[in-house]
Amino acid sequence: MAFDFILMLTENDRTIPDAARRLDEALAGGVRHIGFKDVGLPVPELKRLADTIRAAGGRSYLEVVSLDAAQELASARAAVALDVDCLLGGTRAEAVTEVIRAHPIRYYPFPGHIVGHPSVLAGTADEIVASARRLAALEHVHGLDLLAYRFEGDVPELMARVCAAVGKPVIMAGSIDREARVLAAATAGAAGFTVGTAALGGVFPAEGPGFTGQVRAILELTARGRARSSAPRRLALVAHDSRKAQLRAWVLRHARVLAGHRLICTGGTGTMIAEAAPLLAVERLQRGGRGGDQQLGALVATGDLDGVVFFADPTVPHGGDVDLQALTRLAIVHDIPIALSPSAADMLATALLTRQE
């Protein structure tokens, strides 16, 4: 995730009654990450919400509302039944992962001690960071959902410490209702943030009227936050053999902005880049002909890449043309930016990697 805004169609920890109408307005505003809770509407209506989000090219989220273990497991089973993309929240990760482990759901539980309703993040910063480390070490936990602004201590420091302590994305949730909090989350290294009640209440300054205007205003804030984001990006780099020298030159030219980010490469390309720029963090997959392109496709499908640079040579036939077509298709389906030439890659690097202080 490259610092994304997740719109929650929720208020007072319930899915709003007119969620379907609000969803149409939200999609008109351009938001692509949309969530709801498993209470407030009947399951068939929640299923229609999830299906509509997916049909519109978006990513769907279900947030857990639970006061006990039985309700939390019921929420996990609801996420499976609704076929959402991501499950947010909850505190019983070991039990929940037993429910979802055979399904493609991405799971982001709450670190720390959660009390009350609406939820409050209790405990010390040290305790919350230790909890984050324990949760992130679990195999079927894909990230964390931190109730940052429900914590009474130093929130920016807590966010930065949790993001630095784990190697998985951290989403900030709870009472993010102003620009300063959005930008603070980005600066701390968050992968995204949720807004629900504040958007429905119209608290963000917006140029346009209504809920659609709120969505657009928050998306503008998100873009400003992304430019300040300290979260490392995961960027796939691959090239046809006749374009490898061109990719090597591109990497060396952008080595400064690529530093600190994670570069995922097929085998031969990864070896070349690691030798040319040994200070960059390069992760090698299989060679393209041995399944590396398919491994990249899998990372796109699971949302584990923020962008793809594939320097393709259209002038000569390649045995991997089908793989390139498949990778391009998946990038479109999952809304991952893909650059197939140096000029497009320059634009991607500027938009995705360049950080403003």
Distances (CA, A) of 184 to 47, 83, 149, 193, 337: 34, 32, 11, 11, 25
In tens, the pLDDT along 257-280 reads 899 899 999 888 999 999 999 999
> Taking the chain, what is the end-to-end CA distance rounded to the nearest angstrom?
20
Look at the block and give the residue holding tokens 């993010």. 176
Amino acid 231: pLDDT: 84
Amino acid 319: pLDDT: 58
Amino acid 356: pLDDT: 59
Amino acid 302: pLDDT: 86
Amino acid 12: pLDDT: 80
Residue 61: CB atoms within 10 Å: 29
Query: Residue 357: pLDDT above 60?
Result: no
The residue type found at 227 is: A
224 & 238 share domain = no
Query: Residue 75: pLDDT above 70?
Result: yes
In tens, the pLDDT along 282-322 reads 999 988 778 888 898 899 988 889 999 999 888 776 655 67
- Farthest CA pair distance, the chain: 63
195 & 240 share domain = no
Q: If pLDDT is split at 50, 70 and 90, which confidence band does 345 have?
A: very high
292 close to 266: Cβ distance less than 8 angstroms: yes
Catalytic positions:
293
196 & 281 share domain = no
CA–CA dist 146, 167 (Å, integer): 14
φ and ψ at residue 106, rounded to 5 degrees: -95, 130
Amino acid 241: pLDDT: 84
3-state secondary structure string, 262-326?
EEEECHHHHHHHHHHCCCCEEEECCCHHHCHHHHHHHHHHCCCCCEEEEECCCCCCCCCHHHHHH
Residue 357 within any structural domain of the chain: no
241 close to 258: Cβ distance less than 8 angstroms: no
SS3 35: strand
Q: Which residue in 233, 285, 221, 223 sits closest to 257, CA to CA? A: 233
Amino acid 320: pLDDT: 57
30 & 120 share domain = yes
Pick the last residue of a domain from 185, 212, 228. Answer: 228
275 & 147 share domain = no
172 & 268 share domain = no
Q: If pLDDT is split at 50, 70 and 90, which confidence band does 143 have?
A: very high
CA–CA dist 60, 37 (Å, integer): 11
Assign 3-state DSSP to the chain and report helix, strand, coil percentages, each to 5.
45, 15, 35
Q: Which residue in 27, 86, 76, 19 sits closest to 56, CA to CA? A: 27
Amino acid 1: pLDDT: 60
The CATH number linked to 137 is 3.20.20.60
Q: Which two tokens stand for residue 39?
A: 């209470």
Positive or negative CA dihedral for 81, 83, 84, 86? positive
Left (φ > 0), alpha (ψ -120 to 50) or beta: where does 154 sit?
A: beta
Pick the last residue of a domain from 182, 207, 228. Answer: 228
CA–CA dist 175, 146 (Å, integer): 11
CA–CA dist 330, 297 (Å, integer): 7
| For the chain, percent of residues with pLDDT exceeding 70 | 97
How many domains does one find in the chain? Answer: 2
42 & 104 share domain = yes
Amino acid 351: pLDDT: 81
Q: If pLDDT is split at 50, 70 and 90, which confidence band does 78 have?
A: very high
SS3 148: helix
Which is more confidently placed, 119 or 212? 212
Amino acid 132: pLDDT: 97
Between the CA atoms of 171, 174, 179 and 185, what dihedral angle is there, to the nearest 10 degrees?
-30
Amino acid 92: pLDDT: 93
In tens, the pLDDT along 215-224 reads 999 999 999 9
Q: If pLDDT is split at 50, 70 and 90, which confidence band does 145 have?
A: very high
72 & 215 share domain = yes
269 & 204 share domain = no
State pTM to two decimals. Answer: 0.89
75 & 213 share domain = yes
In tens, the pLDDT along 80-130 reads 999 999 999 999 999 999 999 999 999 999 999 988 777 889 999 999 999
Residue 87 within any structural domain of the chain: yes
Residue 293 within any structural domain of the chain: yes
Domain membership of residue 88 as a residue range: 4-228
269 & 221 share domain = no
266 & 142 share domain = no
Residue-by-residue DSSP string for 237-268: EEE-GGGHHHHHHHHHHTHHHHTTSEEEE-HH
Residue 43 within any structural domain of the chain: yes
357 close to 328: Cβ distance less than 8 angstroms: no
Residue 334 within any structural domain of the chain: yes
Q: Which residue in 46, 42, 73 sits closest to 61, CA to CA? A: 46
Amino acid 193: pLDDT: 96
SS3 213: helix
Look at the block and give the residue holding tokens 């960027």. 235
